[in-house]
Amino acid sequence: GAGVSQSPSNKVTEKGKDVELRCDPISGHTALYWYRQSLGQGLEFLIYFQGNSAPDKSGLPSDRFSAERTGGSVSTLTIQRTQQEDSAVYLCASSLGDFSYNEQFFGPGTRLTVL
């Protein structure tokens, strides 16, 4: 079956521009997560959605970062006024529920490069 998909796979942008990253979770998965993988910081949690609401936004690094989820499905991560330190691979994951035993399935990621 279809896994988690993310688009674009690569994004190069200039410092100061806004970018939108998209995640399509596995159909029927109610929980959706965004993580960031960078050389300096490793794999970091950004935000978690249950349905359309985000009960945990604790990992968002600044107010330039925001995310939304509509229809309990697709999610968009928006970074405003990008900075070079935002360069990273942004990973999306989804799971059937948010119990500790529910496996999180990861997408291939979006590689963001801020020039």
Q: Which residues bind other proteins (CB under 8 A)?
A: 4, 31, 33, 35, 42-45, 48, 50, 55-56, 59, 91, 93, 98, 100-101, 103-109
Assess contact for 4 and 95: CB atoms under 8 A. Answer: no
12: three-class secondary structure by DSSP: strand
**CB 43 → other proteins: shortest distance, Å?**
4
**CB 14 → other proteins: shortest distance, Å?**
27
Q: Which of 20, 18, 19 lies closest to 81, judged by CA?
A: 18
**Of the two residues 20 and 45, which places its CB atom closer to other proteins in the complex?**
45
Number of residues written out for the chain? 115
**CB 90 → other proteins: shortest distance, Å?**
12
**Of the two residues 58 and 70, which places its CB atom closer to other proteins in the complex?**
58
**Of the two residues 37 and 87, which places its CB atom closer to other proteins in the complex?**
37
